Chains A and B, each alone.
Chain A
Amino acid sequence: MKGRMISPGKAEGKALVSSEPIGFYGGIDIKTGIVIEKGHPLEGENVTNKILVFPCGKGSTVGSYVIYGIKKNNVAPAGIINQETETIVATGAILAGIPCVDKIDIKNIKTGDLLVLNADDGEVIVK
């Protein structure tokens, strides 16, 4: 699948797919990388080293710092794939240096799929 590069880099890993948007601030614990938003489809899951796949960001604009923080705390996803990346996630991914692409039809990806993400070319391969 071909999308748009948001933040450069390459990553490989297992997909963790959310059908719902993710708000990083209040949604993901900055120390552990665990999804803490009550009632979220990924509640209790750990994003560390996964390729995190979700439609778009939501909620607080402090989310960029949470993305930067989970990277510094070594609990960040290896890559991010969105339907549509908004500024909050884009800023966080660029600053943290997490490869990120958007304009991908995320319905084609399931949790557990092995993904190769080449953000430089905006490319996602499901192995």
Chain B
Amino acid sequence: MHLTKEEEKILDGEKGEVTERLFRLLVRLGEIYGADKMIPVGSVQVAGVSYKSISDPGTAFLEDMASKGAKVQVLTYLNPAGMDLENWKELGFPKDFAKNQLRIMDAFKKMGIVVTSTCTPYLAGNLPRFREHIAWSESSAVSFSNSVIGARTNREGGPSALAAAICGVTPNYGLHLWENRQPTVKVKVDADLSYNSDFGALGWYIGKQVKNKKPIFTGIKNANTDQLKALGAAMAASGAVALYHVKDLTPEADLVEDKGLETINFGKGELKETYDKLNTGKKPDIVIFGCPHASLREISQVADRVNGKHLKKPVWICTSRMVKEASERMGYNEIIAKAGGSVVADTCMVVSPIEQMGYKTTGVNSGKAANYLPGFCKQEVCFANIDDLVEGQL
């Protein structure tokens, strides 16, 4: 791997101990994966923010770097935290959990990271351009930026993204190279996909089968960005899909070669089978939307359905702080609050300690959430579309 004179100096410790240590990690990764050089990144998104995910060892790791004066070189956003950073008390988040979470946020802020806490940075002011090299880590954000925007990032681990932010570069391998962005499996869709949850089910089914391959979809007639977000998120959770293409819908789909690929069929039967498989619970104690973080459109869809009604059991919509502000201005937050629901910012059900808050069964319309909740939050899951979920809580 070719390193510039400047980069050699980092390895000699000229930019301090932390930068040296993190640059060594990048060089090691570059060597393993055959990178020819380092390339500058336009922006970074760092995963590993919730105290629940990184716990004490991760917190100590971050605090150590912050105390040694590490600073990021490029626009860097954060993944969701383990709680709403402003309304955690009202929502019932445990106090000792909050204390540790705030320590983590302080460490990030010290390093110059924008303390945004969202898995949808592209909806909150960190929007890469087509073909821009970036180092993002949250798996659905990686999928969205690669697939829907056509920016270029590998699936960075939390620490390797942080290393890219502090060094300003990432090793040039994998999805940064055009030849690695070609599809490796074809998916023929022959089912009506209308709800966002239908796209989540499709994604979960395909991710499970293709693991880390790069699917190209045909037969999806239309999909908005919320639905593509749901599709990619589910594939990155049940599998390790970092890039997918959809004929006629995503920017690189017409530029790649899709002949001679193994084909997977997805029809009505597979759609129903996936809904059945993801349903492990009977009746939700709580319904949570916004995995990945809800767009303004998704919040308005919930507001429409609960307007003037009374929810018997809690409904949360998780989103970024920025989208919550816009939603406030539109009056959606008030409509949802009056019905008894909550718009929750900075966090999500997967990284928050919902099992400690007394919930046993969670209703979701997200294939990604349905994938993680049983293992990580010890929840039974009701996987359904937005209409059925809201109806069930009234």
Q: Which residues of A contact B (CB under 8 A)?
A: 4, 6, 21, 23, 25-27, 30-31, 36-38, 55-66, 68-69, 71-73, 84-88, 90-92, 94-95
Contacts and interface: CB of A to CB of B under 8 A. Distances in A.
Contacts of A55: 211
A94 B26 CA distance: 11
Contacts of A66: 53
B158 A36 contact: no
A68 B29 contact: no
Nearest to B277: A39
A61 B240 CA distance: 9
Interface string B6-28: 00000000000000000001001
Given A25-B376, A26-B372, A58 B211 contact: yes
Contact of B160 (A57, A85, A91): A91
A123 to B, nearest CB: 16
B160 A59 contact: no
A38 B237 contact: no
B211 A87 contact: no
Nearest to A35: B375
B239 interface: yes
B155 interface: yes
Given A72-B57, A94-B28, A64 B237 contact: no
Contacts of B154: 87
A86 B155 contact: yes
Interface stretch (B105-113, B135-143, B254-262): B135-143
A48 to B, nearest CB: 15
A127 B57 CA distance: 34
Contacts of A94: 25, 28-29
Nearest to A70: B57
A27 B53 CA distance: 11
Interface in B142-180: 142, 154-161, 174
A111 B371 CA distance: 26
Nearest to A58: B240
B240 A36 contact: no
B155 A65 contact: no
Nearest to B173: A87
Given A26-B376, A87-B29, A95-B159, A61 B137 contact: yes
Contacts of B376: 25-26, 36
Contacts of B340: none
B212 interface: yes
6 contacts: A26-B350, A38-B280, A58-B211, A61-B138, A61-B155, A65-B48
A62 B57 contact: no
Contacts of A36: 375-376
Given A6-B32, A91-B25, 11 more contacts: A23-B237, A26-B350, A56-B240, A59-B237, A59-B240, A59-B372, A60-B47, A61-B138, A65-B159, A72-B60, A87-B33
Given A90-B29, A91-B25, A57 B375 contact: no
A63 B376 CA distance: 12
Contacts of A4: 32
Given A26-B350, A59-B240, A61-B137, A87 B156 contact: yes
Q: Which of B61, B158, B237, B371 gathers most chain A CB within 10 Å?
A: B158
Interface in B219-271: 236-240
A62 to B, nearest CB: 5
A62 B237 contact: no
B375 A69 contact: no
A62 B32 contact: no
Nearest to B237: A59
A54 B61 CA distance: 27
Contact of B158 (A21, A56, A64): A64
B54 interface: yes
B55 interface: yes
B173 to A, nearest CB: 9
